[in-house]
Structure 1
Amino acid sequence: MTGDRDPLTDSRYEVTPVTPFGIALRATAPGTPVAELPVDTLRSLVREHHLLLLRGFGTFATPEELSAYCELWGEPSVWPFGTVLELVEKEQPEDHIFDSSYMPMHWDGMYREQIPEFQVFQCVHAPGEGNGGETTFSNTPTVLRNTDPQTVATWSAVTGTYHREMEFYNSVTVSPVVTAHPVTGTPVIRYNEPTAADDDGFVNHPDLRFTGLPEDGIAEAHRTLRAALYDPAHLYAHSWRTGDLVVTDNYTLLHGRNAFTSGAPRHLRRVQVLGTPPLDNPGLVR
């Protein structure tokens, strides 16, 4: 059951903005059940602010509890492993998802049949102070609003073709870099940031190809995109604390990960929640 009281005016919760975007709700009484918060209100907050941090609330003891809570938000995306992805470094990872390296900016579901609207992250164990591992989020509508029209026009001429083969899929998707939010029509960026091909420490490079401009124009588009996406006015890097719950707007944001100290106890759980109705992936080729 979720509560009926407005968390924005309820004295049991402290409401603060997140810089440069997002909103945080903190429980004034540690361990307050997160289910007391009305999901309809939280859903609206995520759509408005694009990122919601819930801190100081009671945590979910098991993946099953987290998945059951996420069903209040909508239909969870089902993977071969179920609905909850355990994001933990593996000793011999076959993909960078399970490594301690950085993760380039991308959007979730880009290689799947349906693109989730929400990402729900639970921090089971924080990596520890000074160990890195922040999850990074870039607010793409703000990027587009704050960038000069000529540069946006250059980005708009570029289309990315993305191929990624890993344990859970072998797929190709094609998307213009600048496109429209599937519900509001607001311009957004859909982009998988390239990694350096000679970065031998990065496990399982995706195969990325960008067209629409001459080679030097593509290189300049990458340079300006990266600068804008990582500009402090547009980028939020979340430093995890054990027990944090973060819900984000996958239709609007791009996200990635800062590298972290190998062996640090970083453990996140992630559930993807589909929109209503679910959004079929418009760019999926196979």
Structure 2
Amino acid sequence: MRQPAAAPFETPRTAEHGATYGGFRASPSDPHIAPREALLGNATRPHSPTARVVEGGQTGSGALHQEITEQLWNQGLAVVQLNEPLPHHRFTELGEFLGTAIPETDPAVQPFVQERVILNLRSRHAPTQDVSLQPFARNSLSLHSESSGAGVARQPRYIVLMCVTPGEDTGHARTVLVPMREVARRLSPSTLELLSRTSYRDSPEAPAIARHVDDRWVFSYRDFLDQELRWTHSRPDTDPGTVNAALCELLAAMYAPQETIGVRWRRGLLVVIDNTYHFHGRTAGTAAPPRQERHLQRLRIR
């Protein structure tokens, strides 16, 4: 999702039409800042998920599809090691098995798109503030749910990542994952209630930041780093300071170090993330141009 343009800090205030609205901007003293810097800067090493080896993944789909289905059902995350990356037709076939692949329509990413739905994520650019180019750069990506500002029907359910080339052995970026259930467990009931009535003001179709689905909490949220998040809260009599405190508590829970999973990429590693079960992000890569670019392929599945 494109982040809203930065705006001058706005003092929260009460709207006239049955809602409260305001703005949240992280402070350097907030409790999530230090663990976020440590995680995204590769100062900490989150535990790695166990990859199940699927032999013959290149010749038949049955075993691969069954393994992915079982892992997604059990944990909202599938991690599979193949002998070699899937060819394009097999990769898109996997997407069709999971649902409907979302076309990559952003003009800025078209040079990296194949078959309309496969996005080639290459660590080609130096660190950049251009949100459209950040997936192809060597900077970190803050924790987020995919397309958090879109309506629920337009958000992907699954993000499929496959490693073609892992890049350098040392200093390359890792994909990091945080289970939403663990984030919700760390939040107070009052915070969850506040977040369930709060949404992005600049994205009218976006759902509440926290919503209850099938007896679990699902989040639609991105860590906006030092940019302001302009929010709307459905109750007009809510103290805006309590909403900002809830957002601060959410960020602290997201970056709790003991909950983080780190994927170290190897050629042929396939990861399927349920967007309603995990936040995801990326640690920083090497500052200097690497000898070998990291190359992942991505599908977003609705």
TM-score by length of 2: 0.66
Taking the aligned partners of 2:117 and 2:267, their CA distance within structure 1 comes to 21
Question: In structure 2, how many angstroms separate the alpha carbons of the residues matched to 1:191 and 1:128?
Answer: 31
Map 1:146-185 to 2 at 5 A.
Answer: 146-162=186-202, 173-181=205-213, 184-185=214-215
| C-alpha RMSD of the superposition | 3.0
State the match for 1:24 in structure 2: 51
In the alignment, is residue 54 of structure 1 matched against residue 80 of structure 2? yes
Q: Indicate the structure with greater strand content.
A: 1
**Partners of 1:25 and 1:54 within 8 A in 2:** yes
User: What is the CA-CA distance between 1:34 and the residue it aligns to?
Assistant: 6.7
Equivalent AA in structure 1 for residue 142 of structure 2:
P
> Which secondary structure does the structure 2 equivalent of 1:45 belong to?
helix
Match of 1:37 in 2: 63
Shift of 1:131: 1.5
Cα distance in 2 between the residues matched to 1:215 and 1:90: 42
Whole-Å separation in 1 of the counterparts to 2:60 and 2:229: 40
Contact 2:198 2:208 in 1 (8 A): yes
Residue 117 (structure 2) pairs with residue 83 (structure 1): yes
Residue 90 (structure 2) pairs with residue 69 (structure 1)? no
Preserved CA contact (<8 Å) 2:117 2:299 = yes
Partner of 2:281: 256
Residue 280 of structure 2 aligns to a residue whose secondary structure is strand
Residue number in structure 2 paired with 1:284: none
Give 1:157 shift: 4.2
Q: Normalising to structure 1: TM-score of the pair?
A: 0.70
Quote the offset at 1:124 in angstroms.
Answer: 1.0
CA contact (8 A) 2:65 2:94 kept: no
Flag as ranges the 4+ runs of structure 1 deviating above 4 A: 19-23, 29-34
Deviation at 1:90, TM superposition (A): 3.7
- After superposition, the Cα gap between the structure-2 partners of 1:132 and 1:180, relative to the gap in structure 1 and judged at 3 Å, is farther
Quote the residue 1:97 is aligned against.
135
Q: For 1:31 and 1:37, how far apart are their aligned partners in 2? A: 7
- Judge conservation of contact 2:187–2:250 (CA < 8 Å) in 1: no
- C-alpha deviation, 1:117, in angstroms: 1.7
Query: Where does residue 232 of structure 2 map in the other structure?
Result: 211
Structure 1 alignment gaps of length 5 or more: 1-18, 164-171, 198-206, 275-286
1:273 paired to 2:294: no
Q: Specify the alignment match of 1:13 in structure 2.
A: none
**CA deviations over 1:46-68 (Å, ceiling 9, x no partner):** 1321111101433224x344223
- After superposition, the Cα gap between the structure-2 partners of 1:41 and 1:88, relative to the gap in structure 1 and judged at 3 Å, is closer
Query: Matched residue pairs, number?
Result: 235
Preserved contact between residue 32 and residue 57 of structure 1 (Cα < 8 Å): yes
Q: Name the CA shift for 1:174/1:21 in 2 (closer, same or farther; >3 Å).
A: farther
Residue in 2 aligned with 1:283?
Answer: none
